[in-house]
Structure 1
Amino acid sequence: MRAYDAAMAASWAMLPEAIEQLIEIAARENDPTPEALEAYRAARADNGERLTIRGNVGILSAKGPMFKGANLMTAFSGATSYETLRRDLQVALDDRSIDAIMVRVDSPGGEVNGVDELAAAIYDARAKKPTWAFISGQGASGGYWVASAAEKIIVSDSAMVGSIGVVLGITDRKKADERSGISRLEFVSSQSPGKRPDIETDAGKAKVQKLVDDLGTVFVNAVAKYRGVTADEVLKNFGAGGLEVGANAVAHGMADEVGQFEAALARLSQRGKNRAFIQSQKRIFGYA
C-alpha cells in the first residue's frame, strides 16, 4: 500500500492543516526509497530517542505528528511513535534512579490507532511515579489525548491546547478513474453489506459518520476520565473541537496551570524525591 493510501485510510486525531501536510508528503510522485530514509534516520540517530533523564526525572518527548508504530513516514518526518513512547515509559518506570516522569508535548496530534493505549499507560503510571505533562507549542487532538492522561498539565503562555475530535477522510476517485479510462469492479461478500458503505448515499454517509462519532466518543470519555470531569463537561467546556491558548485552556479546565518547563521540572523533581522517601519509609517500617 502506498503511503498516500495508508494516510487516507487512517482515522486521525490531528489538526486539519497537519493532516493536509502529511497527505501532501505522502502523495508525492517520487516516493523516498527505504535506503534514503535509512540514511536520514542515521543522520538523526543522536536525537532519535524519546526518553532523556534530568536528575531524577525521566522526560518523554511527544513531538510532531504521531503514529502507532515506526514506519517510513515517521522516519522521514521525524514524527513520534506511540509504541516507542510506551516502551520508553516502561523504561522510566523500571529505572530506580527515576523518581518522576514528565511527558513533554509539542504535537498537532496523530493517528487514532494506538493513542488510547499510550494514554492509558500514562494514566496507570500515575499510581507508580508522579507523572506530569508540559505542553509548549501544540498539545492538540491526539497530542492532548496523551497529555490529558498525566496527573497534572502545565502549559506555556502561548501553548495551543485542545482540538478534541476525530477526522476520517475518504477520497472519491471515480471521476479521476473515468478520465484515465480505468474501470474498477469490486465484489463484497453478501453477508457484509456494511463493509463498503456507499458514500454517495445518505445511508452510506451516516454509517461513516457513526464510525467517526464513535471514535470521538472514546476520545471524549478518555479525557473526562483522565481529567476527573464528566463527558458533558468536556463537550461543553473543552473547546468543542477548537483550540484554547495558555491561560484560557487553564480557565476552561483543560490544563492546570501556566508555567515554564524548567520550573515545572524542578517542582516535579522534588515531588518525586518526596514520594520516593515516603515509599522507602513505608518499606522500612512495614506500612501497607
Structure 2
Amino acid sequence: MRNEAAALIAAIRAQPWAIMPEYLEAIEAIAVRALAADVLQLLARDGHAERMPANLEAVAAVGTRLDGSRGSTIRNGNAVVPMIGTIFPRASMINASTGGTSLDALMHDVRVAEASADVERIVMVIDSPGGVVSDVGAAADMLRATTKPITAYVAGMGASLAYWLGSQASELVLDRAASVGSIGVVATTTRQEGADANGRRSYEIVSSNAPFKRPDMSSEDGRAAVQAEVDAIESVFLADVAAGRRVTVDRVRESFGRGAMVPAARAVEVGMADRIGTLESILSQGPGRTRANTGRSRALAAAEVELRLRAAQGV
C-alpha cells in the first residue's frame, strides 16, 4: 500500500498544475487518504467544499436538462454549464473522490450548447481552485472561438485554471463575495534522501542523453529546468488571459494579482472581470449581446481602465 501511495503521489506531481497550491496538497492528501492532514483542515475553513453541492444544486434547479449534455441545463435560451471543484482533463478516480470537473465533459457540454438551436447564450457557473493544465490551451481557444456569447459567472472562487478558462468568456460576472486570480503555474516533486520506514531506498538511473527527464531538484540545474517548464506554461496562461480580457500581457502580469486572489470589487476595477451580479439576474436578463458586440464593449472598457491606471500612475 505504501508503494502504491508513493506511485500515486508521483503521478500527481508528474505534471504542472494551474491551481491554488494548498489545493494541490489537499489532492495529494486525499489520494493517499491522509484525511487528518492539516491542509485539509485549512481548506475546510474556506467554505469551498460546502459551496460545491449547493452550486451544483443551483445549476440543476435553474432549468431543464440540456439534451445531449453531461451535466448542463437550459433556461430562457441560456445553457448553464457548471465548472465546480478541481478541474481534471478527464474523469478520474481522484476527481470522483474530491468532487470536481472533467475538462473533457465541460467542453463536450459547450459543444452541445454551441450546436443547439435552442441555446442563444452559454453561461458557465464557476467555483473552482483550478486544476491540471493538460488540454487547457485547446479549451481556451475553443471558448474564445464560439459563435454564441459566453457569460462566465463566478459564484465563489475562480482561481488559476478556472480563471484561465473563465477569462475567455464574452463577459465575466462575479458574485459580490467572489474572488478571482491565482494566475500562475506550480510544479512539485520529492527526492528520497534516506531509507523509508521499511528500510528500503529507491534508486533511479536516467539514460545518459536525457538528464532533464527527471530533473534533480536538489541541484541548481534541475530546479532551473523545472522553472523553465512552468514559466513556459505561464506565458501561455498570460497570453490567453490577455486575449480573453482584451488587454496587454504586461497589464495581466502587473495588475491581475501577481499570483494572488483578488476580491470581486477590485477585480472589476482593474479589468479582471466586467461587473458584479447574480446568477438569477444573468438568466433573467436574457442572452442580450452578441459575442462581437460584447468584445467591442469590453475593449472600450479595458481602454478606459488602462487610461485611469496611467493617470493614477502619472504616466
TM range (shorter): 0.7 to 0.9
Q: Which residue type is aligned with residue 180 of structure 2? A: V
Q: Which residue of 2 aligns with 1:203?
A: 221
Cα separation, 2, equivalents of 1:71 and 1:179: 30
Matched, 1:171 2:176: no
Matched, 1:51 2:59: no
Q: How does 1:181-260 map to 2 (within 5 A)?
A: 181-260=199-278
Matched, 1:136 2:140: no
Q: Which residue type is aligned with residue 54 of structure 1? A: R
Cα separation, 2, equivalents of 1:270 and 1:224: 24
State the superposition RMSD in angstroms.
2.2
> Could you tell me how far 1:118 is from its partner in structure 2?
1.8
Question: How does the TM-score come out when normalised to structure 2?
Answer: 0.76
1:154 to 173, 187, 197: 173
Q: Which residue of 1 aligns with 2:93?
A: 72
SS of 1:28's partner is coil
1:113 to 134, 141, 166: 134
- Residue-by-residue CA offset, 1:21-44 (whole Å, 9 max, x unaligned): 1111012279xxxxxxxxxxxxx9
- Residue-by-residue CA offset, 1:132-164 (whole Å, 9 max, x unaligned): 111110001011011001011010101111110
Q: Which residue type is aligned with residue 265 of structure 2? A: A
Matched, 1:14 2:33: no
Query: How many residue pairs get matched?
Result: 256
User: Percent of aligned pairs with the same residue?
Assistant: 36
Q: Which runs of 5+ in 2 are unaligned?
A: 36-55, 61-68, 294-315
Q: Which residue of 2 aligns with 1:283?
A: none
Q: Which residue of 1 aligns with 2:103?
A: 82
> Could you tell me how far 1:81 is from its partner in structure 2?
0.5
Contact residue 139 and residue 162 of structure 1 kept, 8 A: yes
Cα separation, 2, equivalents of 1:254 and 1:59: 22
Contact residue 130 and residue 268 of structure 1 kept, 8 A: no
Cα separation, 1, equivalents of 2:198 and 2:227: 30
Contact residue 63 and residue 107 of structure 1 kept, 8 A: yes
Cα separation, 2, equivalents of 1:248 and 1:113: 30
User: Which contiguous aligned blocks of 4+ residues in structure 1 show a shift greater than 4 angstroms?
Assistant: none
> Could you tell me how far 1:213 is from its partner in structure 2?
1.1
SS of 1:196's partner is coil
Contact residue 85 and residue 118 of structure 1 kept, 8 A: no
Cα separation, 2, equivalents of 1:268 and 1:121: 23
Q: Which runs of 5+ in 1 are unaligned?
A: 31-43, 276-288
